[in-house]
Amino acid sequence: MRVFAIPMTTRFRGITVREGVVIEGDAGWGEWSPFTEYPPDVAEPWLRCAEEAAAGDWPVVVRDAVPVNATVPVIPPEAAHALVVASGCTTAKVKVADPGTPPADDLARVEAVRDALGPAGMLRVDANGAWTVDEAVAAIGALDRVAGGLEYVEQPCASVEDLAAVRRKVDVPIAADESIRRASDPYRVRDLAAADIAVLKVQPLGGVRACLRIAEDIGMPVVVSSALETSLGLAAGVALAAALPHLEHACGLATRSLLTGDVADPELTPVDGMLPVLLPLVVPALADAVAAPPERVAWWEQRLAAVRALREAGRS
């Protein structure tokens, strides 16, 4: 295994360095990069995803390219406009409701992105569960107006019950992310009619085949999204998106540009808003260039041992 520590181009999800592991198996490599605050039980499905990839156990694809959205962090409007124009994407997802950021800043960022996309582009926002029901209803109305129409709002509130309440009060479609990938029962979103769209991330949900089963059972359109992976990890998300029978929305897999380095080649970066369906290969020189310092390697080795010990305890 190799441990990487890659500085990010901008602070995202509260972090400035993305850490993780690439693990070699019989058929190649897989990425294991659960966020550092996750306990072993939460990190375990991420390991299943890496092992599936390293074993070469992915399903047959039905498309050779996947449409993707530009991802806009909490940055000034001018920078958001430039990012979307440079991306070449016709869909953009804008992060909103960041702690300490005034709502007016979110409105200005969304307005700038709409200008960059033009009237025909698709614009979605992601609140990462930050709002109460009342805050969500007010914010969604304001954002929808300044956006000239939102494609959907991702995870406006933290709980499934609150998602359902918001969905009944607004006309903008609701997408569920954390309420699926961090829930003990991902199907509560379906059972409570809490969302219109399911956001699936392959690492947190245990791999490509596990996500295909969820997509089939959950009974709503799917958006495949990343967890801030390297090109190696993104390839698993692309494999899922390429294997879905129906793909109605652009996917949130164009996040390679948020990292300053990579471990694999070719890099998974979009061209004209599309990602090719391919499998990047780990390049030792690239992995060496972003290698984590020894103390972080030791930390990840201990973490991997803890997850494997949890598995063993579950089997006994």
Residues 6+ apart with CB under 8 A from 80: 72, 94, 109, 112, 113, 116
Which residues of the chain register pLDDT less than 50?
A: none
User: What confidence score (pLDDT) does residue 152 get?
Assistant: 98
Sign of the dihedral defined by the CA atoms of residues 23, 25, 28, 31, in that order: negative
User: What confidence score (pLDDT) does residue 199 get?
Assistant: 96
> What pLDDT, in 10s, does the model give residues 197-226?
999 999 999 999 999 999 999 999 999 999
- Asked whether 222 and 197 are in contact (CB, 8 A), the reply is yes
> What pLDDT, in 10s, does the model give residues 239-267?
999 999 999 999 999 999 999 999 999 99
User: What confidence score (pLDDT) does residue 11 get?
Assistant: 85
For residue 51, give the DSSP letter: H
User: What confidence score (pLDDT) does residue 67 get?
Assistant: 97
User: What confidence score (pLDDT) does residue 184 get?
Assistant: 75
Which residues carry out catalysis?
A: 95, 201
User: What confidence score (pLDDT) does residue 70 get?
Assistant: 96
User: What confidence score (pLDDT) does residue 76 get?
Assistant: 96
User: What confidence score (pLDDT) does residue 186 get?
Assistant: 85
User: What confidence score (pLDDT) does residue 38 get?
Assistant: 96
